[in-house]
């Protein structure tokens, strides 16, 4: 599932696709979000925990907006960081 209205003028971060594929390969449900104040991805861990984890995805050298700095979601740049954020 994904929403088609993108906050950044229709652009998704280049780092997103490998992160989504890695998490889905581990059994996670991954939803792409958009809009001011939302994380880039909402990830649901496989059952039985079913824990939901919001992720902000940035390419190497990417910067956070003021809104993103105020919210304490994990910021990830690689699939390895994403896996660590979701599974701890």
Rounded CA-CA distance 41/20 in Å is 8
The structural domains of the chain, with segments of one domain joined by +, span 16-87
pTM of the predicted structure, to 2 decimals: 0.81
pLDDT tens, per residue, the chain with 88 residues: 344 444 445 678 888 999 999 999 999 999 999 887 789 999 999 988 889 999 999 987 777 777 777 888 899 999 999 999 999 9
Rounded CA-CA distance 57/77 in Å is 6
Decide if domain 16-87 falls under CATH 3.40.1350.10: yes
The count of residues in the chain is: 88
């Amino acid at each position: 599932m994904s929403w088609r209205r993108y906050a950044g003028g229709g652009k998704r971060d280049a780092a997103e696709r490998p992160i989504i594929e890695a998490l889905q390969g581990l059994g996670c449900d991954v939803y792409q979000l958009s809009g001011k104040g939302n994380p880039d991805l909402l990830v649901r861990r496989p059952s039985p925990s079913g824990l939901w984890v919001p992720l902000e995805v940035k390419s190497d050298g990417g910067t956070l907006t003021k809104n993103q700095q105020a919210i304490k979601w994990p910021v990830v740049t690689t699939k390895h960081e994403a896996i660590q954020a979701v599974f701890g």
